[in-house]
Amino acid sequence: QVQLQESGPGLVKPSQTLSLTCTVSGGSISSGRYYWSWIRQPAGKGLEWIGRIYTSGSTNYNPSLKSRVTISVDTSKNQFSLNLSSVTAADTAVYFCARETGFHSQQWFDPWGQGTLVTVSS
């Protein structure tokens, strides 16, 4: 079955850009009608949807982060990536990647990656 794995630096300095990659295994990122999302969770807090990308490259972002977020896809590597610029301590969180699936306009997240902790600190 499809599995997702996040990777990237665990420590980012304030004002710099957070960059993470999600590698999809067990299936092609291009197959099927799926969106691929990033979601984050600060320690002890709830989940925040960051944005998503379709394999065509079409994206949607959370308006609260839109000015700082870029999500891209590399179908040749079966990966999609997140860039979050001008980070502050408030961006410290566990970052998850997830596949958005569904039917008849119903959508849900399944599966998820295991998550990766990114700390913003000097």
Binding site for other proteins (CB under 8 A): 46-49, 51-52, 60-64, 96, 98, 102, 105-110, 112-115
Of the two residues 16 and 115, which places its CB atom closer to other proteins in the complex?
Answer: 115
Of the two residues 32 and 102, which places its CB atom closer to other proteins in the complex?
Answer: 102
Tell me the three state secondary structure of residue 37: strand
- Report the nearest approach of other proteins to the CB of residue 64 (Å): 8
Q: Say how far apart CA 81 and CA 52 lie, in whole Å.
A: 10
- Report the nearest approach of other proteins to the CB of residue 76 (Å): 26
- Report the nearest approach of other proteins to the CB of residue 13 (Å): 26
Of the two residues 56 and 105, which places its CB atom closer to other proteins in the complex?
Answer: 105
Of the two residues 54 and 78, which places its CB atom closer to other proteins in the complex?
Answer: 54
Q: Is 55 exposed, middle or buried (0-12, 13-18, 19+ CB in 10 A)?
A: middle
Spell out the residues 6+ positions from residue 117 whose beta carbon is closer than 8 angstroms to its own.
Answer: 10, 93, 94, 95
- Phi-psi label, residue 7: left if phi above 0, alpha if psi -120 to 50, beta otherwise: beta
